[in-house]
Each structure stands twice: as structure tokens, then as C-alpha cells.
Amino acid sequence: MPTIELTENLRSTIRTLRKSKKKRGDELSKELGKGASYISQVENGKIKEMDFSLLNKIFRKITDLSDDEYIKFIDDLIDDNALHMSKDELKHEQWIHQFDYEIRKFPMDSSI
């Protein structure tokens, strides 16, 4: 999995989503198997990058949605960010491109 830069937009997205779901940072950190201050360090820019799989796990733990609902959530998140950013800004948001790629993957039938 690729390493994702934790941009200000991504850190803000994590913080806003976590707070809207009334999820404490220390609880989320522990659910991820990290130290209690991990999410605080992510949100405050002390941690600069992470593996995409961990980022995906963070969003999954915060949202606690079924697979279909989660895909819809990510689709909406991508669309919302795309609407509020310039093309130049979007180029720097690698996480958006990676989620866009990941949610569009589908299994190929071996008979094809």
C-alpha cells in the first residue's frame, strides 16, 4: 500500500469527522492499536504520513458503516472535496486519488 501525506485538508477531515461522530481521539487511537495520543498527533501535524491501509482503517473505525455504506461515504467524501478545491489543490491530495482508485476496484471473473 502507498504512503499518504497527511495534508492540512486530510487532517481537518479526520478531525471534523471524528468529532461529528463523537469519537474521542484516545479511544480511536487504542482501537487502531496505537498509543493514546496517536490521533492527536495525526490531527496536529506531528505525524506527516501514514500507510494508506491505516488511513482507510481510521475512516472505517470512525464511521462504523457496512461495506456498501462505507463505499457511498467515501464517494461522497471525494465528491465534496472535489467540489471545494481547485484542480491544483486536488493534485496535492494523494489520499483522495488513492481512495478514488481503491473504491473503483472490482474483482475480475476468471472466465473473462
Domain residue limits, the chain? 3-103
3-state helix, strand, coil in the chain (%, to 5): 60, 5, 30
CA distance 69 to 14: 18
Pick the more confident residue, 77 or 91.
Answer: 77
pLDDT of residue 87: 85
For the chain, state the CA radius of gyration: 15
DSSP letter for 47, please.
S
Question: Cell numbers at residue 54, please?
Answer: 491505516
CA distance 72 to 45: 28
**Residues 61-88, mean pLDDT to the nearest whole number:** 91
Domain 3-103 sits in CATH at 1.10.260
Mean pLDDT of the chain: 90
Rounded to two decimals, the pTM is 0.85
pLDDT of residue 104: 66
The residue among 50, 60, 62 whose CA lies nearest residue 103 is: 60
Question: Cell numbers at residue 25, please?
Answer: 481521539
pLDDT tens digits for range 14-40: 999 999 999 999 999 999 999 999 999
pLDDT of residue 108: 42
pLDDT tens digits for range 47-69: 999 999 999 999 999 999 999 99
**Residues 77-84, mean pLDDT to the nearest whole number:** 88
- Calculate the dihedral angle through the C-alpha atoms of 77, 83, 86, 92, rounding to the nearest 10 degrees: 10
Sign of CA dihedral 11, 30, 98, 105: negative
